[in-house]
Amino acid sequence: MIMGGSGSGLEPTMAKVFWFWFFNLVILMVFLVRERYRLEAMRGEVQLIEREAEAA
Amino acid sequence: MKKKILIAAVVVILMSFAAYAALLIAPTESKMGPIQRIFYLHAPAGMVSLLCFFVCFVGNFAYTLKRESKWDCLGVSAAEVGVAFCTVNIITGPIWAHPVWGIWWTWDWRLTLTFVLWLLYISYLLLRTLVEDPDRPWSARSTGFSRFWTCLWSTDRFDGGARSIPSR
């Protein structure tokens, strides 16, 4: 049980480490999604240019 | 480019410190022993994967309404990262469960729904690569999101599975 009422939950040091891990992984997630988004947007632009070149 | 390297370096430093905290700062759990330390990676990875799938839903929902490619890009990016985190969650779970509860896997609601969620987003990503028209994998998007909610619901509703077996 990570969260709960009184008498439940993680030991305080364990909880701190757990939330530190969580926020680190969120930062990693944002970084990865951002980079992957840029790549996908670039791929879309390349596809658009390809279609325009084929149509011309 | 320099900014990207700087952010990557900060992420690496933070992750290194997180690993140090999990291995050396956090106390050893009395019943499970050192293997419990995998929990610091296992549980947050599962939580972050659900966060990614939520972002994927927001991206796909916005794309359905506005038909702007940026939302589709956000959806697929979040789905890919979510699948990566979900894979970490699914791999680390059995590594933790076997020494503690004596089983690698059990087909309880939570584990099964997480596995189905993982498969569903993999199928969504596969569909996207196979079909040229980005509107087509719509069914995978909507069912994926419903599975996301059932996964959250099962975590709350069914507190059983491997964790219901007493620790060794």
| Residues from chain A contacting residue B18 (CB–CB below 8 Å) | 17, 20-21, 24
Residue B125 and residue B76 in contact, taking contact as beta carbons nearer than 8 Å: yes
Nearest CA among B162, B45, B46, B158 for reference residue B109: B158
Q: Is the ipTM of this complex over 0.90?
A: no
Cα B81 from chain centroid?
8
| Residues from chain B contacting residue A33 (CB–CB below 8 Å) | 52, 55, 74, 77-78, 81
**Amino acid symbol at B10:** V
Read off the pLDDT of residues B1-38 as tens digits, 9 standing for 90 and up. Answer: 788 899 889 999 999 999 999 999 988 888 888 888 99
Structure tokens at B13: 């430093």
Backbone φ/ψ region at B158: left (φ over 0), alpha (ψ -120 to 50), beta: beta
**B8 → chain A, closest CA residue:** A31
A54 touches chain B (CB under 8 A): no
Read off the pLDDT of residues B96-142 as tens digits, 9 standing for 90 and up. Answer: 999 988 899 989 888 998 999 999 899 888 888 887 665 555 545 55
B18 touches chain A (CB under 8 A): yes
Q: Would the CB atoms of A33 and B8 count as touching at under 8 Å?
A: no
What pTM was estimated for this model as a whole? 0.82
The CB density around residue B80, as the number of other CB atoms within 10 Å, is 21
Contacts of A6 (CB under 8 A, 6+ apart): none
Cα B121 from chain centroid?
11
C-alpha dist (Å) from residue B91 to B3, B86, B114: 32, 9, 12
If DSSP codes are grouped into helix, strand and coil, which group holds residue B65?
helix
Q: Would the CB atoms of A37 and B11 count as touching at under 8 Å?
A: no
